[in-house]
């Protein structure tokens, strides 16, 4: 048995080594400081939802001579739904990246309620936005943890309101553990009512109720 244990341990050494390398990379990522500055510094507004992009230009640092967005200008009123359409590679999703400040624009400005987003607290800015992908993603944890992910001190009333908007209140209420259950086009339509939304369109059904439809081609 002891010899078998030694052989098993030796066989696991490469896995331990790979795991250690992975941990180092994760820790490096966690401690990396964002190029956009301290995420807590900056203003906090009472959001109304007006969004403006003014003559925006964006280039990536590795290809500074090749702009991906050039002179992009559009605005939305509070509560409008804006649909961005265009061929593959037209940089539609890049518009979301610059709104979330994953990248800062090279020229022009992005404003929310008349305030340049670069003057706002990055942490606060991202807590004011919700990003819904094409595929639903659930994290390992409870329904409540998934709903509160990234936010702190959320009132139970807000969670119940979100469940109702998602047509999931009765479903969750009937689960034995309720919100503490381990953890799923109509719900999105209800959730965006009264909110300013930007939709990256991949099919006509997702933009048919939009207030404005913009076509983007090569930035």
Report pLDDT digits (tens) over 71-108: 989 899 988 888 888 877 777 888 888 999 988 999 99
51-132+192-215 belongs to CATH 3.40.50.11060: no
Phi and psi for 160 in degrees, rounded to 5? -65, -35
Residues 82 and 210: beta-carbon distance below 8 Å: yes
Digit-coded pLDDT (tens) for 27-44: 888 877 777 777 778 888
Q: Which helix (H) or strand (E) holds 17?
A: helix 2-31
Quick one: DSSP state of residue 179?
A: G
Strands (E), the chain: 51-58, 69-76, 81-85, 107-112, 115-116, 197-200, 212-215
pLDDT reading at 136 higher than 60: yes
pTM: 0.59
Mean pLDDT of the chain, nearest integer: 81
Nearest 10 degrees: CA dihedral of 212, 213, 217, 219?
30
Q: Which residue has 């969750």 as its token pair?
A: 172
Q: Which of 137, 147, 150, 131 is nearest to 198 (CA)?
A: 131
């Amino acid at each position: 048995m002891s010899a078998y244990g030694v052989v098993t341990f030796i066989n696991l050494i490469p896995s331990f080594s790979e795991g250690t390398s992975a941990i180092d990379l994760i820790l490096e990522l966690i401690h990396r400081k964002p190029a956009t500055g301290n995420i807590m510094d900056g203003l906090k507004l009472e959001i109304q939802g007006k969004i403006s992009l003014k003559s925006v230009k964006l280039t990536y640092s590795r290809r500074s001579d090749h702009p991906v967005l050039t002179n992009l200008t559009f605005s939305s009123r509070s509560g409008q739904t804006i649909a961005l359409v265009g061929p593959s590679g037209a940089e539609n999703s890049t518009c979301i990246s610059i709104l979330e400040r994953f990248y800062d624009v090279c020229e022009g400005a992005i404003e929310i309620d008349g305030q340049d987003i670069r003057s706002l607290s990055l942490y606060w800015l991202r807590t004011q936005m919700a990003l819904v992908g094409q595929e639903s993603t659930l994290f390992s944890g409870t329904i409540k943890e998934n709903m509160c992910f990234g936010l702190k001190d959320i009132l139970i009333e807000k969670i119940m309101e979100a469940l109702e908007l998602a047509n999931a209140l009765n479903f969750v209420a009937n689960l034995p553990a309720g919100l503490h259950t381990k953890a799923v086009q109509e719900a999105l339509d209800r959730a965006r009512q009264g909110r300013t939304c930007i939709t990256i369109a991949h099919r006509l059904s997702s933009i048919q109720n939009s207030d404005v439809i913009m076509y983007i081609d090569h930035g």
